[in-house]
C-alpha cells in the first residue's frame, strides 16, 4: 500500500547514484525479520512525537515491545479470502451462527431499534458483522498486545505505512486515556474488541452509546454496535435502502472490509437474519 517514489536526476547526480543513495534509507525503513526492529522503534518514537503523541504515552505504550513473529505468520497465512463466495460463506456462516444471531436480534430489539433510529443502519447488518468478526465475541483471539502487533506490522515491509498509522493511533488512544495501556489487548492485527475496530477507526468513529462516559468497545454491547453503525453511517450508509450486491449500501459495506467475499457474506447473512 505504500506509494512508489520517482527519483529525478538533477545537476551532476544521476538517477543511478540517487537510487544507490536511497537504498540504505529504504533498507532501514522496514524489515523482514527481528534484526533492526529495536533501531526502527527508536526512530519511530520521534515520528510519533511529531504526530502530537506525548513522550509519556510513547514510553508507556512501547515499553517492553518486541518483534512478534507470530503476528507475521498470521498475516502471511490469510488464505480464506481467496476462496469463492460459496466456499467462504459455507465455512464462516453455520446454522448455529444464524440461530444465535436471530436470538440476539430478538433479545436486543429495543437497543437495535434505537441505534437504527439514530444512524440508519439495520440491526441485521450489525449482528452479521459481530458474528462474522468474532462469533459474537466468542472467539479467543483477543489476547495479543495491540501495540506490539502493530509495531511488528509497521516495521514489516508489506504494509508499513498503513500499520504505522494504526500504531500511532493506538498510542493516541493511550495518550488520551480512552483505553488504559494495560487493557490494550486484542486481535493479532491490532483490532480492538469483538467488533474488531482498528485504532484509527476507534479514534474517528467510536461512540459512548450507553452514557457511562466511556467508549467501551470491549465490554459494552451498546457502544460496540452503535460505533459500528456510526462507522457505516459516516461512510455513506443510506437509511431504509437495500444492501444487496450492486447497491450503494453494498459498496458502503466494502468500507468495512475490502475483501469481496467478506462483503457478500455480510450482506447475505444480514438478509437471512433480516429478511431483506
The CATH number of residue 199's host domain is 1.10.530.10
Give the structural domain span for 173.
31-67+143-186
More confident residue, 5 or 81: 81
In a domain, 8, yes or no: no
Q: Residues 235, 258: one domain?
A: yes
Q: Is residue 210 part of a domain?
A: yes
CA 180, chain centre distance (Å): 19
Q: How far is CA 163 from CA 4, 10, 90, 93, 203, in A?
A: 17, 33, 31, 29, 15
Supply the mean pLDDT for the chain. 89
**CB 89: neighbour CB atoms within 10 A?**
16
Catalytic (active-site) positions:
133
CA distance 272 to 276: 7
pLDDT at 65: 97
216 part of a folded domain: yes
Q: Is residue 14 part of a domain?
A: no
Is residue 59 one of the residues assigned to a domain? yes
The model's pLDDT over 176-201, given as tens digits with 9 standing for 90+, comes to 999 999 999 999 999 999 999 999 99
The answer to whether residue 21 scores a pLDDT higher than 50 is no
Domain count, the chain: 2
Contact status, residue 71 vs residue 188, Cβ threshold 8 Å: yes
One domain for residues 112 and 159 = no
Binned at pLDDT 50, 70 and 90, residue 274 comes out as: confident
User: pLDDT at position 275, please?
Assistant: 65
| pLDDT-based confidence at residue 128 (cuts at 50, 70, 90) | very high
**Grid cell for residue 146:** 495491540
Please identify which residue in the block is written with the cell numbers 512478534. 68
Per-residue pLDDT at 81: 81
Same domain, 97 and 220: yes
Quick one: 105 and 89 in the same domain?
yes
Which residue bears the cell 452503535? 226
Comparing CA positions, the residue from 85, 111, 139 lying closest to residue 269 is 85
pLDDT at 58: 98
What pLDDT sits at residue 1? 32
> pLDDT band at 5, cuts 50/70/90?
very low
pLDDT category at 119 given cuts 50, 70, 90 is very high
Q: Quote the pLDDT of residue 16.
A: 38
CB 37 within 8 A of CB 31: yes
255-263 average pLDDT score? 95
> Does one domain contain both 149 and 256?
no
Q: Which residue has the cell 454496535?
A: 225
pTM over cut 0.85: yes
Separation between Cα atoms, residue 132 and residue 129, nearest integer Å: 5
- How many other C-beta atoms lie within 10 A of the C-beta of residue 174? 26
Domain boundary among 163, 186, 209: 186
What is the mean predicted confidence (pLDDT) over 208-230?
A: 97
125 found inside a domain: yes
- Residue 244 region by backbone torsions, left for phi larger than 0, else alpha for psi between -120 and 50, else beta: beta
Amino acid at each position: 500500500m505504500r506509494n512508489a517514489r520517482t527519483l529525478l536526476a538533477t545537476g551532476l547526480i544521476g538517477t543511478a547514484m540517487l537510487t544507490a543513495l536511497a537504498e540504505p534509507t529504504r533498507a532501514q525503513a522496514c524489515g523482514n525479520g527481528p534484526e533492526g526492529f529495536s533501531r526502527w522503534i527508536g526512530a519511530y518514537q520521534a515520528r510519533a512525537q511529531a504526530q502530537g503523541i506525548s513522550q509519556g504515552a510513547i514510553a508507556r505504550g512501547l515499553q517492553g515491545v518486541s518483534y512478534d513473529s507470530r503476528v507475521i505468520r498470521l498475516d502471511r497465512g490469510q488464505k480464506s479470502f481467496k476462496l469463492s463466495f460459496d466456499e467462504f460463506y459455507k465455512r464462516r456462516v453455520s446454522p448455529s451462527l444464524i440461530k444465535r444471531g436471530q436470538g440476539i436480534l430478538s433479545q436486543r430489539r429495543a437497543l437495535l431499534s434505537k441505534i437504527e433510529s439514530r444512524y440508519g443502519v439495520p440491526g441485521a447488518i450489525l449482528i452479521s458483522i459481530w458474528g462474522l468478526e468474532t462469533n459474537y465475541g466468542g472467539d479467543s483471539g483477543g489476547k495479543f498486545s495491540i501495540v506490539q502487533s502493530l509495531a511488528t506490522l509497521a516495521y514489516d515491509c508489506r504494509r508499513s505505512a498503513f500499520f504505522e498509522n494504526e500504531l500511532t493511533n493506538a498510542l493516541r488512544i493511550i495518550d488520551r486515556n480512552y483505553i488504559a495501556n494495560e487493557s490494550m489487548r486484542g486481535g493479532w492485527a491490532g483490532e480492538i474488541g469483538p467488533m474488531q475496530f482498528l485504532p484509527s477507526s476507534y479514534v474517528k468513529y467510536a461512540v459512548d452509546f450507553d452514557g457511562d462516559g466511556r467508549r467501551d468497545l470491549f465490554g459494552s454491547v451498546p457502544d460496540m454496535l452503535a460505533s459500528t453503525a456510526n462507522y457505516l453511517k459516516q461512510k455513506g450508509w443510506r437509511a431504509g435502502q437495500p444492501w444487496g450486491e450492486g447497491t450503494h449500501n453494498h459498496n458502503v459495506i466494502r468500507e468495512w472490509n475490502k475483501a469481496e467475499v467478506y462483503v457478500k457474506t455480510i450482506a447475505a447473512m444480514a438478509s437471512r437474519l433480516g429478511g431483506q
